[in-house]
Structure 1
Amino acid sequence: MAGGAAGLALVGSPAFAARPSLPSKRPALADRNFTSRSVEREIARVSARIGDPKLRWMFGNCYPNTLDTTVRMSTIDGAPDAFVITGDIPCLWLRDSSAQVRPYLHLAAQDPALRTLFRGLIARQARSILIDPYANAFMQDPAARTNLSWALHDQTEMKPGVAERKWEIDSLCYPMRLAHGYWQATRDPAPFDARWAAAARLSIATYREQQRKDGRGPYRFLRASTRNIETMPLEGWGNPARANGLIQSGFRPSDDACQYPYLIPANLFAVTTLRELAVVASEAAHDTALATEATALATEVEAALVAHGRMRLRDGREVWAYEVDGFGNAIFMDDANVPSLSALAYMGCVAPTDPLWRRTADAAWSDANPYFFKGAKAEGIGGPHVGLGQVWPMSLIIRALSASDDATIRACLRMIRDTDADTGFIHEAVDQDDPAKFTRSWFAWANGLFGELIVHLAATRPSLLAASL
C-alpha cells in the first residue's frame, strides 16, 4: 500500500460520512489499494465546503475511488510501476488511467506517495505504447494474452500485453496530457527518460502513419459482433477518406467505431497535447528534436482542422463537425466520452468564450444532436455505446466544468446527485426516465471526474458549492 496507513486513522473515515443514512462507501482503511495523506486532507477540506449533504457524501465516496480501488503498485527494475484499472474491467486503458489520476495532480508537489504513483503510471504507459501504439487497453502482465471475452477473436495484430486493440487518437493524447500535467505540477524530471521519449516518438510516428498520405497504413480491425459499432467497415480498414492532413481514427473514445475516419474533437485534442508534449520534451527531457517534431505535427493538423473541420447546421450556424471524411461529407453529433465537442474548452483546445465552440456546445446540448436525450429524470448527452435514451452523467459533469453561469452548474449538480440510484457513485449511463436503470456500478473515470468538478467548484465558486441545491 503506497503512502502507508500510519497517521490516516483520523481522516480515513471522515466525520461528514458518519450519518447513519449516508454511510461511507469506501473500503476499510486496511483494504484500500493506495493511500495518500494529502488526498485525505483534501477530502476533509473540500467536504467542509459542500452544503448539500448527499453531494458531500458522494464526493467522499467518489474522489478517492481510483486510489482506493484501482491502483496496483509494484516495482520494475527498482523503479515504481503503477497499473491503474478502469474499475469493473481489470485492464489499463491509456485514456481512463490518465483521467482517473488527474484530480490528484494539484497535490503531487507536496506528496511523495502521489509522485511515486505518477512516476509509475507514466512509466507503465510508456512501456505499453512501446508494446503497441495502436492498442487502447493493456494487461498487467506484458507477456499475457488478452482475457477480455469480447477481444479473444479479433482480427487484428494482437500482441502479448494488449487487452484490446482499438485504434483511438485520444489513447496517445492522454499520456501526453498526463506528462504535461505532472511536469507543470511538480517540475520533477524523473519520469522523462529515454523510454518515455521513445514512446513519445512512436506516438508521433503513429499519428503520421494514420494521416494516410501514402496508403492506408498497417492498422485494420475486425470483430465478429451483432453490433456494428464494434467493428470497422470495409474489411477492417474503415470507411473511405481523402488525405488532407488530419489524423484518421478507427474508434471514438467511447470505443465505438467511427462513421467517418476524421474524428474532429480527437484531432483538436491531438493538436493541444502535441504542443504540451513539446513543452515537456524541451523543458524536462531537454530533447529539442522531439519538441520540434511534436510542434510541426500540431501545426499541420491545426491547419487541416481550420480547412476541413467545420460544417453548417440546417439553420446555417457554423459549428465544429464531429466527423468528416475529406470528401466534403460531415456529421454533427456529440458523444459523452471525452474528447468530445462539448468538452473542447475543458480540454484546453479552445477558449471558453470562443464563439465557434459556444455555438457547437449549444447545438450539442439540443435536438440538433441525435444523442442528446431529455426524459423525466435526466437530460444530457449519451451515445451509441449504450443506446438511445441513456444519459451519461459524464456529460453533465463536463457541462458543469465548462459553464459560466451558476444556474447551469446548479442544475447539473442536482441531476448528478439525483441520478446515482442512491449508490453514492457516478455511473456510465442512466436511463433518462428511471435512474435506477444504469450501467457500470464501478466506473472510476466518472467518479474521479465528479471529484474533479467538486474540487474545482470549491476553488472557483465556493458560495455556490456551500449553498443548498
Structure 2
Amino acid sequence: MIDRRGIMGAGLALAAAPAFAQTTAFASNRPEPSARKFVSKSVEREIVRVSLKIGDPKLRWMFGNCYPNTLDTTVAMRTIDGAPDAFVRTGDINALWLRDSSAQVKPYLHLAKGDADLRRLYHGLIARQSRSILIDPYANAFMEDPTAKTNLSWSLDDRFPLKPGVAERKWEVDSLCYPMRLAHGYWQATRDKTPFDVRWAQAARLSIATFREQQRKDGKGPYRFQRKSNIPGESLMLDGYGAPTRPVGLIHSGFRPSDDACVYPFLIPSNYFAVTALRELAVVADAARGDAALAADAVALADEVDAALRKYARMRLPDGSEVIPFEVDGYGNAIFMDDANVPSLSALAYLGCLPASDPLFQRTAAAAWSEHNPYWSRGRVVEGIGGPHVGLGQVWPMSLVMRALSSSDDATIRQCLRMIRDSDGGTGFIHEAVDHDDPSKFTREWFAWANGLFGELIVHLADTRPKLLAETL
C-alpha cells in the first residue's frame, strides 16, 4: 500500500536564483514566479536578509528553496462569505492536515504584523481549520472541497464511514493542539482579533470537549478506527478502540503524529503538548474574545492533564535514570522510544512544554538520541531518530532540526547543520526520511512541513547565533 509518508512528489520547476546564490551548482529550485501559489514581499525580503548571513553555500541554497516552499507550492486562497479561506496542502498529498498546515505557516508568524497579505493567509487558515474541526474533531486530514468524499486510496476501505470533507480519520491528540498553537502564535505576533470569531470559539469548545471525551472516564467514548491493511500500525485493536487503559486523567490518542497506531494509548508527548496548547488557547480566548468561560475550561483541563503527567509520565531505564516515557497505559506499563515526528519527547522543549535546561528533559532527550531508543541510528552520513513508519536505519531530518533548536551547544548545532545539509540527496529540499548511509535514498521529495522547520531553524540561528551561521561548515 502506498501511504501518506511514502509518496514521492513531482520535481519542482527551476527558477532564476537570487543574486546572492546564483551559481551553476546552486540555481534556485523554486517554481517560476508566475507559478508560485502565494507571494509575500516580507518573506522575500526575509530570504535575502537571512541568506546574507549564511556562510555555507549549500546551506544557503537549501534555505532559499525550503523557507518559502509552503507559500510557493501548497497554498490555495479563496473567499467564502466575503472572508478569506486558505487551504494549505501537506505537499505531495492534496489534503490539509491540521498538524502540518499549522506548522507549515509558523515560520512566517514574526512577519505577519507588518504584512497584510500574510495576515489574510492566517485569517483564511484559522477559519478553514475551525470549519474542519466542526465537521469532525476526530479527523486528522481534510479535503479541499468540504462536500467531497475522500480520494485518499488508503482511506477508501476504512470500516467506519467518513463524513464529507474528511480525508482521513485517525484520531491524534496533536491534531487539535496545533490549531490552538497557531491561534496563539498569531495572536502573540499581531494582537489582531479578526480571526477569533464565533466559529473559532465553537471549534475551540468542541476541541476541549473531545479531549475530555478521550479521557474516557465514563466508558470508551465514540471513537473507533479500523482499516483493511497488512500493516499493523494502520488499525486499532479491540474492535477499533485500541489497547486497554486505566482512566487516570490523561487523554487517549489512537495514533501518533506519524499516523502510526499507538501501542499504549496515553501518548505522553501529545499529552504534554495538550497542556501547553490548552493554556495558550485560554490566553487567546480571554484576551482576543473576553471569553472567560472558555478560558477557564481550557485551564481546568490543562491542570488536570498536567497533574496526571506528573504522576504517570515517569519511568526508569535499565541504567536507573529517570526519564519521560513515550507511551503508558495507566496500569504501570510504559514504552521508551522516540519518533521523529513532532510532538516527540525530543521536541518537548521546542514546543514549550518543558525548559531546555530542565534535567528531566535533558536526560530524556539524551536517551532518545542513543541506543536506549530503538529508532535512533548512526550511519556513515547521518545519525538521528526515525520511527516505525518508514523503517529501521532511516533518519528523519526533522529530528536533527529538533535537536539543533533545543541545544545551547555550538558543536551540537554545527553537527546537526552539517548532517541536514548532507541529507538532501542533491535536491535542495528536506525529506521525510533518508537512509543513514546513503541519503540519495529518501522518502517524500515534496514535504512542506520539514522544509518549513528547516527554514525556521535557520532564521532562529540568524537571530541568535549569527557567528555560527556565518561559518562554512
TM-score of the alignment, normalized to the shorter chain, above 0.5: yes
Distance (Å, rounded) in 2 between the aligned partners of 1:278 and 1:70: 30
> 1:90 aligns to what?
94
Task: State how far apart, in whole Å, the 1-side matches of 2:173 and 2:165 are.
Answer: 20
Please give the secondary structure, in 2, of the residue aligned with 1:284. helix
1:117 aligns with 2:135: no
Partner of residue 74, structure 2: 70
Q: 1:406 aligns with which of 400, 410, 416?
A: 410
User: Distance in 2 between the 1:273 and 1:317 partners?
Assistant: 29
Aligned to 1:16: 20
Aligned to 2:4: none
Judged with a 3 Å threshold, the aligned counterparts in structure 2 of structure 1 residues 405 and 331 are, in CA distance, closer, same or farther, namely: same
Matched AA of 1:216: K
Quote the offset at 1:169 in angstroms: 0.1
Greater shift, 391-400 or 152-161, is seen at: 152-161
State the 1:376 CA deviation: 1.0
SS of residue matched to 2:117: helix
Q: Paired residue for 2:10? A: none
Q: Which of residues 28, 32, 49 is equivalent to 1:28?
A: 32
Alignment map for 1:65-464 (pairs within 5 Å): 65-464=69-468
CA–CA distance in 1 between the matches of 2:17 and 2:438?
31
Distance (whole Å) between structure 1 residues aligned to residue 16 and residue 216 of structure 2? 52
Q: CA deviation at 1:16?
A: 2.1
Aligned amino acid, residue 196 of structure 2: F
Please give the alpha-carbon distance, in whole angstroms, between the structure 2 residues aligned to 1:298 and 1:334. Answer: 23
The CA deviation at 1:17 is 2.6
Q: Distance in 1 between matches of 2:16 and 2:392?
A: 40
Deviations 1:309-350 (A, max 9, x none): 111101111100100000000000000000000000000000
Task: Give the residue type in structure 1 aligned to 2:277.
Answer: T
CA distance in 2, matches of 1:412, 1:119: 34
Matched residue SS, 1:275: helix
- Structure 1 residue 377 displacement after superposition: 1.2
**Structure 2: distance between partners of 1:468 and 1:231:** 47
Per the normalisation by structure 2, the TM-score is 0.96
Q: Distance in 1 between matches of 2:134 and 2:21?
A: 43
CA-atom RMSD in angstroms: 0.8
Q: Is the 8 A contact 2:16 2:27 kept in 1?
A: no
Aligned equivalents of 1:400, 1:357: Cα separation in 2: 15
Indicate if the aligned counterparts of 1:378 and 1:433 stay in contact, CA closer than 8 A. yes
Q: Indicate the SS of the match to 2:85.
A: strand
3-state SS, counterpart of residue 80 of structure 1: strand
Letter of the 1:207 counterpart: F
Kept in 1, the 8 Å contact 2:16–2:28? The answer is: no
Residue pair 1:16, 1:57 contacting (<8 A) in 2 also? no
Name the amino acid aligned to 2:463: A
Determine if contact 1:261/1:323 at 8 Å carries over to the other structure. yes
- Residue of structure 2 equivalent to 1:3: none
CA contact (8 A) 1:156 1:165 kept: no
Q: CA deviation at 1:468?
A: 1.3
Q: Distance in 2 between the 1:318 and 1:186 partners? A: 40
Q: Give the secondary structure class of the aligned counterpart of 2:293.
A: helix
d(CA) in 2 for partners of 1:226, 1:431: 24
Spell out, residue by residue over 1:169-203, the C-alpha distance to the aligned partner (whole angstroms, 9 max, x if none): 00000000000000000000000000000000000
Counterpart contact for 1:380–1:391, Cα < 8 Å: yes
CA distance in 2, matches of 1:264, 1:136: 18
- Structure 2 unpaired stretches of 5+: 1-14
Say which SS state the counterpart of residue 419 (structure 1) adopts. Answer: coil
Q: Partner of 2:298: helix, strand, or coil?
A: helix
State whether residues 324 and 331 of structure 1, in contact with CA within 8 Å, keep that contact through their aligned partners in structure 2: yes
Q: 1:59 aligns with which of 37, 60, 63?
A: 63
Contact kept? 1:381, 1:395, Cα under 8 Å: yes
Residues 337-378 of structure 1 show CA distances to partners (whole Å, capped at 9, x for unaligned) of 000000000000001100000000000000000100111111
1:12 deviates by 8.1
Cα distance, 1:156 vs. partner? Answer: 2.3
**Residue identity opposite 1:135 in structure 2:** A
1:397–1:450 CA contact under 8 A, matched in 2: yes
The answer to which of 367-376 and 274-283 deviates more is 367-376
1:255-297, CA deviations, whole angstroms, 9 ceiling, x for partnerless residues?
0000000000000000000000000000001110000000000
- Counterpart in 2 of 1:5? none
Q: How many residues align?
A: 459
1:434-460 deviations in Å (ceiling 9; x for gaps): 111000000000000000000000000
1:410, distance to aligned residue in structure 2 (A) = 0.3
